[in-house]
Amino acid sequence: MPDKIQLLPDNIANQIAAGEVIQRPASAVKELLENAVDAGATEIKLIVQDAGKALIQVVDNGGGMSETDARMCFERHATSKIKSIDDLFHIRTMGFRGEALASIAAVAQVELKTKRPEDEAGTYIEVENSSVQKQEPVAVANGTSIAMKNLFFNVPARRNFLKSNTAEMRHIVDEFIRVAMAFPDVLFTLTHNDQQVFYLEAGSLKQRIIQILGNQYNAKMVSVKDNTAYLNIHGFIGKPETAKKTRGDQYFFVNNRFIKSAYLNHAVMNAYQEMIPSDSFPMYVLFIELDPTQVDVNVHPTKQEIKFEDEKIIYAFVQAAIKHALAQFSVTPTLDFDLDPGIQQLSSIQQPFTEARQQSASSTSLYKGFTQGNKAHFIEKENKEGLKHWRDFYETPTEPTSTNPEALHTETNAFDNDEVFQLLNTYIVLPQQDGFLLVHQQLAHERILYDQLTAAAKGIPVATQKSLFPATMEFTPGDTILLQELLPDLNELGYHIEPFGKNSFVLQGTPADLLPTDHTHAIDLLLEQYKFFNSELKLSQRERLVRSVAKQRAIKSGTRLTGREIKQLLQDLFASNQPNAAPDGSPTYFHFSQDQLDKMFGR
């Protein structure tokens, strides 16, 4: 029998290796941008066609390459950044793996033009399927231009797994932003299908943050700077009022390399504790600089997940630096040592401390604990009889239940009952024969809106109210790409939005039943809500959008409702096929029976 094991041909081995490095167009963008930064460029241009499927080109004014280096850079394990094993543990450059260009050349048609300042002519190389097709001198400016065309042209199965152009473009923008944020002293531009998406002039880190994340942070950022013998931390964090429902505006860099770290993010969230809602996320752009030997950047192929030698020290430093920054800029709550004037009006302060009052106070166990010896841990015997009913309550716990809606008496005339009322501007109390329902108005309204919007997706369109004065809306480039992707579905859901130049849209109409509000701000919040649902991979784009619109438009807790509005809300809720649950599965109401109430009070 012949031998079965054989060496793979180079081109197939390269394609397999490429699968680890180049997973989508954005992966190639990351590698090419990092190489341009390492080349010492002060200007870097990214040019993309068809979300990178047709073309990804990076042009830089860096140091360029010699003719030999230009040929060698496409070989596997070829790198200028590692010469010995010790270099692996002292890495300060961005791209260093030595497989990026070889991987790109294995799955795309590549054209390279490069020239060093000291050379009279540059070098032009064409590579296809890991094979050099052409090499010749060329007249070109100093620096490097590398273009990869027809990604995965020779691996059609991989190409078929790519997402829509808008989805792939969002990934490209993410990678572009991460590199551009780390190097504010470099001019970056991004052009897609001949339209300029980003033009980021060289400047300070604060200017770069505003260029990318939007002008709303201009006066709402706090500077972070803390230098120690072990590490340095610098950057900016958002004031508590800028916290959002999504964690999109959060960037950690270690030695200028973007990383993802749930551990360090937890340190940041702890520093903001009790300053922002638990379901909100602060903006931060933080840079940690430490000895490369204290960190391992090779634990993941994308180099976005890293390991620290001592995570606890990093955690403590990050948390302390942020707390210090928030306190220094008077953002954190401070103790007020001035006596509240209201305290002076209390009867215990104004009335004289008579002899009778003194005797009454000195006879208490609290007084004895402070004045008599060996009484600090003294506890009086409990009155067991008085706690009897509470013991019964805890031994047989009862909880309100979300009852089967078919078992409830919810005829239309029941909603006209004078005993139906709103509680705490959040709940609606609906009496029943054996107790009452406690309805959460926001969750109930989410269910109603969700049903209406789902019906719209099945051919029952939502009516649109045309705006007398159409509003122009400006978005960040990242949100612009997201909104363009959602426009067809938004139009079906009653929003009439049209593109209006670079990063601008015109709101021509809104759903007819939408209450008067700041619609441009509402669209901003809708996008934030959609990004929040983006983590739910099992949901389709339409489902995420419908849930986002329902949550965004629902009557919020704390809103006062009229009797007519309460009646309409209850009628619409119990007309639903699933009135007892919101779209995310949360109960819309609880049923309290008289038996449960009696047991709670020991009756």
Q: What is the CATH number of the domain that holds 256?
A: 3.30.230.10
Encode pLDDT of 239-251 as tens digits: 988 888 777 789 9
Residue 235 gets which letter from DSSP?
E
What tens digit of pLDDT does each residue of 70-129 get? 888 887 655 554 444 454 444 555 543 446 788 888 888 999 999 999 999 999 999 988
Distance from C-alpha of 105 to C-alpha of 132, rounded to nearest angstrom: 9
Co-location of 402 and 373 in the same domain? no
247 and 287 share a domain?
yes
Inside any domain, residue 346: no
Does residue 81 contact residue 96 with C-beta atoms inside 8 Å? yes
In 3D space, the residue among 189, 156, 178 whose CA is nearest the CA of residue 53 turns out to be 156
Q: Per-residue pLDDT averaged across 252-260, rounded?
A: 90
Would residue 344 count as lying in a domain? no
Domain match, 425 and 495 both: yes
pLDDT confidence band for 331 (50 / 70 / 90): low
Helix (H) or strand (E) holding 518: none
State the CATH number of the domain containing residue 168. Answer: 3.30.565.10
Name the nearest CA neighbour of 473 among 465, 463, 464, 483: 483
Same domain, 286 and 373: no
**pLDDT at residue 463 above 70?**
yes
Look at residue 134 in the predicted model and tell me its pLDDT. 92
Tokens coding 56: 């990804």
d(CA 359, CA 363): 6
Of 294, 310, 288, which is closest to residue 226 (Cα–Cα)?
A: 288
Report how far residue 386's alpha carbon sits from residue 271's, in angstroms, rounded to the nearest whole number: 43
| Beta-bridge mates of residue 6 | none
Number of structural domains (the chain) is 4
Whether 459 and 598 share a structural domain:
yes
pLDDT, tens digit, for every residue of 28-64? 999 899 999 989 999 999 999 999 999 999 999 999 9
Dig out the tokens for 406 from the structure.
């078919």
**Which tokens hold the place of 378?**
């003294």
Q: Answer for the pair 477, 503: CB distance below 8 angstroms, yes or no.
A: yes
- What residues contact 537, with CB distance under 8 A and at least 6 apart? none
Residue 267 covered by a domain: yes
403 pLDDT above the threshold of 80: no
Give the pLDDT band (50/70/90) at residue 429: very high
The residues pairing with 231 across neighbouring beta strands, listed in sequence order, are 290
Q: Are strands 43-49 and 187-192 parallel, antiparallel or unpaired?
A: parallel
Q: Is the pLDDT of residue 352 over 90?
A: no
Instruction: Tell me if 336 is assigned to some domain.
Output: no
pLDDT at 590 > cutoff 70: yes
Residues 470 and 566 in one domain: yes
Sign of CA dihedral 364, 370, 376, 377: positive
Verify that 38 and 147 share a domain, yes or no: yes
| CA angle (328, 332, 336) in 5-degree steps | 100
Q: What is the distance between the alpha carbons of residues 157 and 397, in angstroms, rounded to a whole number? A: 57
Q: Which residue has the higher pLDDT, 296 or 545?
A: 545
In a domain, 591, yes or no: yes
Look up the domain containing 125 and give its range.
10-200
* 459 located within any domain: yes
pLDDT for 85: 44
Q: Using alpha carbons only, what angle is made at residue 205 by residues 199 and 211, rounded to the nearest 5 degrees?
A: 30
Tell me, what's the pLDDT at 10? 66
**Residues paired with residue 250 on neighbouring β-strands, in sequence order:** 284
First-to-last alpha carbon distance for the chain, in angstroms, is 87
- Same domain, residue pair 156 and 247: no
Which whole number is the average pLDDT over 550-576?
Answer: 89
pLDDT classification of 340: cutoffs 50, 70, 90: very low
CA-to-CA separations, 415 to 409, 412, 441, 582, in angstroms, rounded: 10, 6, 14, 20
Residue 57 near residue 47, CB atoms below 8 Å: yes
Q: Which of 328, 344, 366 is the last residue of a domain?
A: 328
What is the structure's pLDDT at 251? 93
Domain contains 342: no
Q: Are 82 and 143 within one domain?
A: yes
Q: What is the DSSP string of 43-78?
A: EEEEEEEGGGTSEEEEEE-S----HHHHHHTTSTT-
pLDDT at 131: 84
Question: Does 170 reside within a domain?
Answer: yes
Residues 163 and 236 in one domain: no
* 318 and 357 share one domain: no
10 Å Cβ neighbour count for 36? 29
Dist. CA 571–CA 551, nearest whole Å: 19
Q: What CATH number does residue 487 fall under?
A: 3.30.1370.100
Residue at which a domain ends, from 151, 182, 200? 200
From 156, 180, 200, give the residue that closes a domain: 200
Pair 181, 220 in one domain: no
Q: What is the pTM assigned to this prediction?
A: 0.68
